[in-house]
Amino acid sequence: MNVKFSKEIKVGSLALVSFVLLYFGFNYLKGTDMFSPTRKYFVLYKGLDGLTVSNMVQLNGFKVGQVSKIDILQNRANLMLVTLDIEDYLELSDSTFAILSDNGLLGGKYINLNIKKGNKILQNNDTLRPKIQEGMMATFADKASPIVGSAEMTLTTLNLLMKEYQGMGANIKSLINNSDQMMANTNQLIVSNQSKMGQMMDNVNKLSASLVETEKEIKPLLKKMNTFADSLNNAKLAATVNSANQSMKELNKMLVAINSGKGSMGKIIYNDSLYQNLNKTILTLDKVLKDFQENPNHYLAPLGKKKKN
């Protein structure tokens, strides 16, 4: 016997099946296992800091349940009543803590169970002990507070230093201007004395050349002195030393006499008139020698040659 269904029944059946599939699919996406038995537990928190429905309940990093409902108790100072669906094979004691924890740097919250030995085992719809773990951002903020304080103190010190040395800009500018003026004067001095410096360098080069020639002349003399030194090494040193001591004594006496102004040398050194006369004599002798070189016949006439007019 063929049973025919009307279009209304077919549409209603399809809608019912779709609703059931949608319900189970939505719960599956939320992480709710509809076929595993669970127990309900309640926890009271003063604040949730972002905990939402379907957040995980973990035990040592393993998921054992989820948050199924959150209610606000306005008659109890707006405490947050959180309902947890936890696998029924877990035995929770009255000393178990439901710790509201931070789920990493990306945010999010989860409930971490800390099961301890207690006096009795909790049953369905019992209440767990609440505890809130300090988040990573809060820990970072606490540790960063001293650093921020030190930075503020440093900025305050810098501001004081900037105010104290605010007038140094004009002094530095004046110092730079004086340095520029000094450099300009130095450059002008170098330019004005450039020709003199060039002449001085030419003289230095000539002096260097003269020293090279002198060195060539001194080398043979040094060889002779080395030969003389070798001959002295072969002589009797005692007699030479005694003779040198005697000579030094005589020289010392002569220097004492000269320093006291005695003798010709002493008078030359300490008597200015004698020096002037000697200088005049040398000049006159120089003129006579020059005249002799220019007019030798004038001086040779007494020797038999006629003197030219």
In a domain, 67, yes or no: yes
In a domain, 158, yes or no: no
In a domain, 127, yes or no: yes
pLDDT tens-digit series, residues 243-269:
788 888 888 877 777 777 666 666 666
Euclidean distance between CA atoms 86 and 58, whole angstroms: 9
In a domain, 56, yes or no: yes
Residues shown for the chain: 309
Give pLDDT tens digits along the chain (309 positions): 455 667 777 777 778 878 777 866 766 665 555 556 889 999 999 988 888 888 889 999 899 998 989 999 999 999 999 999 999 888 899 999 999 988 765 567 899 999 988 899 999 999 999 998 875 555 555 666 677 777 778 888 887 777 766 666 667 777 787 888 888 878 877 777 777 777 778 778 888 887 888 877 787 877 777 777 676 666 556 677 777 888 888 888 777 777 776 666 666 666 667 667 777 888 888 888 888 788 877 777 665 555 454
In a domain, 155, yes or no: no
Euclidean distance between CA atoms 71 and 82, whole angstroms: 6
Q: What is the pTM of this model?
A: 0.39
Q: Which distant-in-sequence residues (6+ apart) come within 8 Å of 59 by Cβ?
A: 90, 112, 113, 115
Strands 109-114 and 97-102: antiparallel
**Mean confidence (pLDDT) of the chain:** 77
3-state secondary structure of 108: coil
Strands 129-132 and 126-127: unpaired
In a domain, 23, yes or no: no
Q: HSE (CB half, 13 Å, CA atoms) of 230?
A: 5
Per the structure, how many domains does the chain have? 1
CA-closest candidate to residue 132, choices 114, 144, 156: 114
In a domain, 183, yes or no: no
In a domain, 121, yes or no: yes
The answer to whether the beta carbons of residues 82 and 51 sit under 8 Å apart is: yes
Q: Which domain holds residue 69?
A: 29-133
pLDDT at site 309? 46
